[in-house]
Amino acid sequence: MPSFIDEIIGKLFPQKKTPISIKENFVQSETSKADTEKWFGSDEGKKILALVHKNYHYKTAGINDSPEIHILKSPYANGFAISYEHPFDEKTFSMLFFAFGRRMLDLGYNQVSLDRKIEEINDDVRTIEKQYFKPPLSSADLIEQKIDQLYGNISVEKTSINDKASFLKILVTVYSDHLYQKARPFDLFIDDLFQI
pLDDT digits (tens, 9 = 90+) for 19-73: 778 899 988 899 999 999 999 889 999 999 999 999 999 999 999 999 999 999 9
Q: Is residue 140 part of a domain?
A: yes
Q: What is the pLDDT of residue 196?
A: 67
Could you give the CA distance from residue 176 to residue 5 in angstroms, rounded to a whole number? 61
Q: For residue 130, what pLDDT band results from cuts at 50, 70 and 90?
A: very high
Question: What domain count does the chain have?
Answer: 1
Alpha-helical regions (H) of the chain: 4-12, 30-41, 43-60, 90-106, 139-144, 186-193
The answer to the question of residue 134 being in a domain is: yes
Reported as a single tens digit per residue, the pLDDT across 74-103 is 888 999 999 999 999 999 999 999 999 999
Q: Tell me, yes or no, whether 7 lies in a domain.
A: no
Range 132-157 average pLDDT: 82
| Average pLDDT of every residue of the chain | 89
Is 112 part of a structural domain of the chain? yes
Residue 51 domain boundaries: 25-193
- pLDDT-derived band of residue 12, with 50, 70 and 90 as boundaries? low
Q: Are strands 164-173 and 69-73 parallel, antiparallel or unpaired?
A: unpaired
Residue 100's pLDDT is: 96
pTM here?
Answer: 0.85
Going by the DSSP 8-state scheme, the letter that residue 61 receives in this structure is T
